Structure 1
């Protein structure tokens, strides 16, 4: 399919956007191994972007390297799921995870003002950091997120949750300069809590 002059596009394995044409690079200068990795066997450039073609337009879904693969082999693109979960006014920032895990979970930064209101309505102490660890609180927020993810496959819906009021920022190195979450540093920051919610159930 051609969307631009002299450029063809197609959707390859794992919904990867692939391109070829006169203006597409031919390879890396004197780096044959990297060139081989960048192209398919039949000469299409691998963009690394997950996409779909909708009515002659390209809709980007996320980066392939960010695809979550659970221990049961289910593949989940976190970008769309996170966008849906951010529709809850209680959630300021969120990152879903589950790579090599039996199910999907999430780390959520709460909106301080809305959290205080939600806690007050339920008789919880919003000023006590330990409140965010109480099972009744976690389950109440998780129930809201599961409702927002109801249109996703059941394996993509979060089944566990970590809550925090600490914002992710460029300054604390948890966001990129373009305000995208930095997944590896966030996973490292909350490593112990993540292990606790999964009970060390990790495969691979």
Structure 2
């Protein structure tokens, strides 16, 4: 009978997750404080810029979404010269921002409007002002639709599926790094 810790018919996957001493390697980063374990991120969620700088994006993304305009954020830049961010706005607040900028609410062109993009970038940078210098976002793309488990961009536990997001929004990502 197979060990209860084994993946069904997948000995390689089992060996990747559970070492010879039966320690489970989840891929999570954690800290232990007062005998409690706090999960602080994922080991695989490290962005390495073309400059060699290594950036953990999770805390940045959490800070960015503290702005009421931004419901979801994914920091990107793997192999690129700078960081960018994909954001999903709160629809009501986004329409409000567009109206206050003299634009017609609900116009799909607003997602690419230079004034709106500049305002969202200012808001993102404000949320990251307490972060070290490496955490500077240079460009932003505003997404037309949220990342959800239904469209395959989030796991059932609402974690970003980073590679799928990058593939799904290929055009937006390409535009953020055109010329680099």
Match of 2:158 in 1: 179
Match of 1:142 in 2: 121
1:112 Cα deviation from its structure 2 partner: 0.7
* Equivalences, count: 177
1:133 Cα deviation from its structure 2 partner: 0.8
Q: What is the DSSP-based 3-state SS (H/G/I as helix, E as strand, rest coil) of the residue aligned with 1:66?
A: coil
1:53 Cα deviation from its structure 2 partner: 3.2
- 1:71 & 1:56 partners in 2: Cα distance? 39
TM-score normalised by L of structure 1: 0.74
Once the two structures are superposed, residues 133-192 of structure 1 have per-residue CA deviations (whole angstroms, 9 ceiling, x without a partner) of 122211111101100011111221221100023122222222222222221111001112
Q: Gaps spanning 5+ residues in structure 2: where?
A: none
Once the two structures are superposed, residues 29-80 of structure 1 have per-residue CA deviations (whole angstroms, 9 ceiling, x without a partner) of xx9977876588x997644221233344332221111211111122222221
Contact between 1:103 and 1:155, CA under 8 Å: does it hold in 2?
no
Q: Which structure's residues are more often strand, by fraction?
A: 1
Aligned pairs for 1:90-129 within 5 A: 90-129=69-108
Q: Gaps spanning 5+ residues in structure 1: where?
A: 1-24
Q: What is the DSSP-based 3-state SS (H/G/I as helix, E as strand, rest coil) of the residue aligned with 1:185?
A: helix
Any runs of at least 4 consecutive aligned residues in structure 1 with deviations exceeding 6 A, and if so which? 25-28, 31-36
TM-score normalised by L of structure 2: 0.82
Larger Rg: 1
Match of 1:48 in 2: 27
Q: What is the DSSP-based 3-state SS (H/G/I as helix, E as strand, rest coil) of the residue aligned with 1:165?
A: coil
Q: Name which of 75, 80, 83 aligns with 2:59.
A: 80
Contact between 2:6 and 2:14, CA under 8 Å: does it hold in 1?
yes
1:85 Cα deviation from its structure 2 partner: 0.7
CA RMSD of aligned residues (A): 2.8
